[in-house]
Amino acid sequence: MTQSTPLYRRPAFVFGPPLVMAIAGVTLLIQAAFGAGSLGVVKQKLEALAELETPAFTIRESDWIRAKLNDPNSVFVVVNKHRQINPKSFEPNDLVKVENSKTLDNSRKLVLSQEAASALQEMAKGLSAAGQGKLFLNSAYRSYDYQAELFIGKARQYGKAEALLKSARAGFSEHQTGLAADVSVPEQGCAILACFGNTPAGNWIAENSWKYGFIVRYLETTTSITGYAYEPWHLRYVGKEVARLYHSNGIQTLEEFWGLPPAPGYLAVTTESTSN
């Protein structure tokens, strides 16, 4: 198993930005997560922040936002081997088919949550404009039942230990949230392989996906934290503001971003349906 190297966190991330910048950032996050209809609540929260004596605030210190880490309807949700989707039968209510275009091939007619789908389409345009080819959507939303079948198939193909590095058990997959996409650029090869990270398109995605609200979720150096092997093709939509902070502060995992413990393996207590 690949071992993790210490993750670097800049002081600005650890101690928080100035209050004015934080308020602006939190406003964007709240609006993205809850919509314009919650502006009255937003105003109340910002007024409360303005009364704080401390000059620093970070989004991960907000109990209000952190509560959304468990909400599969939120772009802030964190799913890992310690954090099961609840309810396990969850299906996003805003799934849409990602549109085929001259820059994005969704010939498999896959679906994502609406916000993630729009962002992926914009990223495909950016990739194409940079001369890196046409993006292909290999995998997107997966239901609980589909993920269960997929994991069983991986276990039969690779053995259970290897399958645990390559695939999630049902109920523990980011794909079930509709916020995760597996992508490739077929003309450059290495589709759904680690070598995709060394292709021009893979490098472009690693350097630019944050601009569209995505992160590369499973890096080569983070297996001991995430429990998954390197997947340069696996993108997770987190929203533009979180992605910007994630990128600018040199963060490598969502666990690190939100101050959550590493989750390299499943907890001892699991349901029968997830122990396949």
Render pLDDT for 55-66 as a digit per residue (tens, 0 to 9). Answer: 333 677 778 888
Average pLDDT over residues 183-202: 98
Confidence of residue 12 (pLDDT cuts 50, 70, 90): very low
How much is the pLDDT for 175? Answer: 98
Average pLDDT over residues 5-28: 46
Average pLDDT over residues 74-81: 97
Residues 6+ apart with CB under 8 A from 99: 106, 117, 121
Average pLDDT over residues 195-224: 98
- Min mean pLDDT across 37-46, 118-127, 156-165, 200-209 is at 37-46
122: its two tokens: 């914009």
In DSSP notation, 213-253 reads TEEEEE-TT-HHHHS---EEEEEEE--HHHHHHHHHTT---
How much is the pLDDT for 64? Answer: 80
What is residue 182's three-state secondary structure?
A: strand
- Min mean pLDDT across 29-38, 46-55, 161-170, 229-238 is at 46-55
Average pLDDT over residues 162-172: 97
> Active-site residue among 91, 220, 231, 255?
231
Name which residue leads in pLDDT, 160 or 272. Answer: 160
| In the predicted structure, residue 2 carries a pLDDT above the cut 60 | no
Name which residue leads in pLDDT, 220 or 40. Answer: 220
| In the predicted structure, residue 28 carries a pLDDT above the cut 60 | no
How much is the pLDDT for 65? Answer: 83
This prediction has a pTM of 0.80
Average pLDDT over residues 245-255: 94
Cα–Cα distance measured from residue 176 to residue 255, given in angstroms and rounded to the nearest whole number: 19
CB atoms near residue 156 (< 10 Å):
10
208 contacts 175 by C-beta, under 8 angstroms: no
206 contacts 221 by C-beta, under 8 angstroms: no
253: its two tokens: 């995992």
**Whether 231 is catalytic:** yes
pLDDT tens per residue, range 97-122 = 999 999 999 999 999 999 999 999 99
Relative to beta strand 135-139, strand 104-105 is parallel
| In the predicted structure, residue 161 carries a pLDDT above the cut 90 | yes
How much is the pLDDT for 36? Answer: 42
How much is the pLDDT for 62? Answer: 77
